Amino acid sequence: MNASVPARFEALAEGDFHGRLAASSGLAVVLFSAPRCGACRAWKQLLPSALADQADAFYEVDVSEATGVARYFDIFHLPAVYLYRNGRFHAELQCEARLESIRLAAHHVLSAPAQDEP
């Protein structure tokens, strides 16, 4: 991804979540969010800057609409950030909402073997 071009989050809905991710190549970042979640908005602004040199796609799942996907992954706390590599789940990104923390955490989990899908 070109760091000079702002990243656009593509919406993933109930019916296309698994198919679109399975067909993706490279690193896909999936942000689970909700419209009234202030922390989600902060993460949505930080993720493209923090991962611009690594991510090939950014997706957002509105859990208030995609309730089946939220249940499938047992999403209870927002925001949640999942990383997919070449169409397969790789890891959940857990860290504080700071650029350097996100970069370091992503590097750490992407250097490790893939985790089991939640």
Q: Which domains does the chain have, with CATH numbers?
A: 9-106 (3.40.30.10)
Cα–Cα distances in angstroms (integers) from residue 117 to residues 39, 61, 91, in the given order = 24, 17, 8
Share of the chain above pLDDT 90, in %: 91
Could you give phi then psi for residue 37, rounded to 5 degrees? -95, 105
Share of the chain above pLDDT 70, in %: 94
Task: Indicate the pTM of the whole model.
Answer: 0.92
Report the pLDDT averaged over residues 7-18: 91
Q: What pLDDT is recorded for position 118?
A: 86
Q: What pLDDT is recorded for position 43?
A: 97
Q: What pLDDT is recorded for position 4?
A: 43
Q: What pLDDT is recorded for position 3?
A: 45
